[in-house]
């Protein structure tokens, strides 16, 4: 618990002693003043069973914040959404604040929220499978449409899965098997804590957009070129192209300030630049082509990839 930094611990009311002082109790090991207890309905397959279980929990410990899960079958442990919705409505009317385990369905999540659920807990994969989040799209849709906290309830197998859940915008992750079955549970608990924090920070920071093609992180303009060669019509001054007084070609990046002379453009380009212009127009028909001067690579403003 300390290594993970967990703030809430779920309690299987039907499996853990929380009321008989004559036997070892969970409160002997986990201080309820430091960690929030969340009684759950593990093993319940009908709305009636779940409601009765949580009513006993409230009588034993006074809990009203509870976790509701009504299972459809024992093989997949998928929730029965019809019984889950029915139990949610009854529990809310009786004064409970249910955090509800559900399928990763945005419509079902919205119905639970409208019924009074205080948190939505969609599964990322079957309980105990460690199969990681199988449908990120629906989890993100649930997050975007919810006005209550969203916590991934199942499917987390390692720290990267927890980070993904938080990057999708979830408010928390519920886990057990991933830590309990790790070779070093304490170390895995620390890893989960770090992953949850990192994922949340990444979500708040905002992810960069995805692109189909490469986009250099450093600008191509201004690169140091090889030893330049002088050519007729355009002179190279220390690697910086200059337009000659008789050249109006805009493809050579003219910077005559370094030479200390004023540059004037005439209406007629020189023969060398005319040849380059003709070559460039031919190159434009080729995808992913960058026009280059011989002495210094230049990305023209009209390049087909210059806007990326």
CA-based end-to-end distance of the chain: 47
Contact by Cβ (8 Å): 93, 70: no
Reading the block at residue 141, the tokens are: 């849709």
CA distance 118 to 120: 7
Asked about 110 being catalytic, the answer comes back as no
In 3D space, the residue among 138, 79, 68 whose CA is nearest the CA of residue 107 turns out to be 138
Contact by Cβ (8 Å): 242, 234: yes
Task: Give the distance, in angstroms, between the CA of residue 295 and the centroid of all CA atoms in the same chain.
Answer: 44
Taking CB atoms within 8 Å and a gap of at least 24, the contacts of 253-262 are 253/221, 253/296, 253/298
Point out the catalytic residue in the list 33, 34, 67, 75: 67
Contacts of 293 by beta carbon, 8 Å cutoff, 6+ apart: 241, 251, 252, 276
Residues involved in catalysis: 67
């Amino acid at each position: 618990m300390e290594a993970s930094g967990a703030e809430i611990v779920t309690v299987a009311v039907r499996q853990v002693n929380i009321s008989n002082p004559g036997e070892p109790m969970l409160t002997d090991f986990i201080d309820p003043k430091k960690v929030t207890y969340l009684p759950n309905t593990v093993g319940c397959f009908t709305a009636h069973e779940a409601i009765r279980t949580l009513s006993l929990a409230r009588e034993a410990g006074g809990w009203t914040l509870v976790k509701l899960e009504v299972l459809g079958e024992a093989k997949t442990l998928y929730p029965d959404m019809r019984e889950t919705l029915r139990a949610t409505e009854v529990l809310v009317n009786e004064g409970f604040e249910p955090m509800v385990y559900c399928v990763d369905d945005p419509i079902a999540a919205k119905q639970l929220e409208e019924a009074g659920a205080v948190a939505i807990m969609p599964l990322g994969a079957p309980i105990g499978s460690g199969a990681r989040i199988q449908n990120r799209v629906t989890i993100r849709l649930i997050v975007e449409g919810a006005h209550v906290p969203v916590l991934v309830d199942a499917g987390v197998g390692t720290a990267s899965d927890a980070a993904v859940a938080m990057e999708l915008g979830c408010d928390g992750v519920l886990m057990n098997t991933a830590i309990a079955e790790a070779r070093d549970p304490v170390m895995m608990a620390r890893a989960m804590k770090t992953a949850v924090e990192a994922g949340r920070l990444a979500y708040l920071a905002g992810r960069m957009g995805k692109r189909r093609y490469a986009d250099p992180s450093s600008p191509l303009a201004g690169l140091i070129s090889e030893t330049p060669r002088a050519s007729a019509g355009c002179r190279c001054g220390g690697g910086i192209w200059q337009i000659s007084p008789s050249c109006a070609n805009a493809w050579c990046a003219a910077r005559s300030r370094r030479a200390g002379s004023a540059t004037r453009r005439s209406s007629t380009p020189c023969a060398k630049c005319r040849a380059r212009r003709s070559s460039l127009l031919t190159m434009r028909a080729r995808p992913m082509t960058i026009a280059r001067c011989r002495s210094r690579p230049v990305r023209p403003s009209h390049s087909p990839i210059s806007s990326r």
